[in-house]
Amino acid sequence: MSDGNARETHNLNQEGTVGTGPADTSAGGSPATNEDARSTDARQVEALAPELDLADWSREAYFADDLERHPAVVLLNATLPDAILDIIRFRNETTIHVRPELYREVCRTLRDDPRVAMNFLTDLTAVDMLRLRTSPRFDVVAQLYSLPNRVRLRVKAGIDDGQAVPSLVPLWNGANWMEREAYDMFGIIFDGHPNLRRMLLSDDWDEGHPLRKDYPLRGWKEFPVYNTERTVPRLRTRWTGRGV
């Protein structure tokens, strides 16, 4: 960093903080609460460290057939015992369903633990599960990646319409725009987001959230007709397949 010029002093960050690896202790948009939570987590991890050292932290454990051997699962079972709802493996990818209220704590634990070290937020999005199940309606999906271990993990939290999910912006600044996009497209409220407004659509967009499954492909408004003096009747073709 030391190029010896004045530009170096401009690392201001007003949207959150620079969340780093395990050594960082200054995480949190609201410093007091996050600091407490962070130190609580760290204390828990330290207290359980001897016991957890018996567990298998090797790379094979991430892809073992026994899903309970997955290091992230081992860690979460030890630190946040009731957080995990379901574990799924498909095409060698592991998905963990967690309780929405513990979503941020789960991600913080996975990020701060030096052995699991899921310190990179690759993607954050949502899925509208309207046609696949009755409740909860949405899945908030975070794709985590561990730069030291080179493994991926998908963390999901199911929420209902109107229910808030904790924002990940205190952990990663990169979550800012991704959560804004998820709010824009699905109407998901992220609790603790510093600037939750529309991302891709205009600020005065009044037609709802387009990626919801009950949103028609062409929108709610009437499709404009440009050639009103047309003599040959227009053929309406149903080109959308499923209708939505």
Partner 1 sequence: MAISTGQSARDDFRDIEQSPYGKPGEVISDTAAPTGTLTVTDESVLDSGEHQMTLNMGPQHPSTHGVMRVVLKLDGEVITDCDPVIGYLHRGTEKLGEAHRYAQITPWTDRTDYVAAPLNNLGYILAVEKLCGVEAPERAQYWRVIMAELARIASHLVWLGTHALDIGALSMSLYCFREREMILDIFESFCGARLTTNMMEIGGFSRPIPDGLVEQIRNFIRLFPGRQQEYSDLLTANPIWMARTKGVGIISPEAAISYSLTGACLRGSGINYDVRKAEPYLVYDRLDFEVPLGEHGDTFDRYLVRMEEMRQALRLVEQALDHVEAMDTPMMAYESPYVIPPHKGTMTTAEDMQRHFIWTIKGFNPPVGEVWQTIEQSKGELGYYIVSDGGPMPYRFRIRTPDFVNLQVLPHMAQGALLADVVALIGTIDIVLGSVDR
Residues 17-36 that bind partner 1 (CB under 8 A): 17-21, 24
In whole angstroms, the minimum distance from the beta carbon of 184 to partner 1 comes to 9
172 lines the binding site for partner 1 (CB under 8 A): yes
Task: Quote the tokens at residue 184.
Answer: 């824009």
Handedness of CA 242, 129, 67, 151 (dihedral sign): positive
For partner 1, which is the closer residue by CB, 106 or 118?
Answer: 118
For partner 1, which is the closer residue by CB, 7 or 221?
Answer: 7
12 lines the binding site for partner 1 (CB under 8 A): yes
**Side chain identity at 81, as an amino acid letter?**
P
Question: Rounded to the nearest 10 degrees, what angle do helices 71-79 and 103-112 cross at?
Answer: 120
Contacts (Cβ under 8 Å, ≥6 apart) of 104: 166, 167, 168, 170, 171, 192
Exactly one of 54, 132, 225, 232 binds partner 1 (CB under 8 A); that residue is 132
201 lines the binding site for partner 1 (CB under 8 A): yes
Residues 180-199 that bind partner 1 (CB under 8 A): 181, 185, 198-199
100 lines the binding site for partner 1 (CB under 8 A): no
Task: Quote the tokens at residue 137.
Answer: 């309606």
128 lines the binding site for partner 1 (CB under 8 A): yes
DSSP E strand stretches across 56-188: 84-90, 93-98, 120-128, 138-146, 151-159, 164-166
- Number of residues in the chain: 244
* Cα→Cα distances 115→16, 94, 119, 166, 230, Å: 25, 17, 11, 24, 69
13 lines the binding site for partner 1 (CB under 8 A): yes
90 lines the binding site for partner 1 (CB under 8 A): yes
Exactly one of 50, 150, 206, 229 binds partner 1 (CB under 8 A); that residue is 150
In whole angstroms, the minimum distance from the beta carbon of 208 to partner 1 comes to 13
Helix-, strand-, coil-residue percentages of the chain, each rounded to 5:
30, 20, 55
Q: Which positions from 210 to 239 touch partner 1 by CB under 8 A, shown as an x/- string?
A: xx---x-x----------------------
> What is the chain's alpha carbon radius of gyration, rounded to the nearest angstrom?
22
Exactly one of 164, 173, 189, 191 binds partner 1 (CB under 8 A); that residue is 173
134 lines the binding site for partner 1 (CB under 8 A): no
Query: Phi and psi of 183, rounded to 5°?
Result: -65, -40
* Nearest C-alpha neighbor of 42 from the set 58, 25, 20: 25
For partner 1, which is the closer residue by CB, 58 or 195?
Answer: 195
Count of residues that bind partner 1 according to CB under 8 A: 62
67 lines the binding site for partner 1 (CB under 8 A): no
For partner 1, which is the closer residue by CB, 76 or 117?
Answer: 117
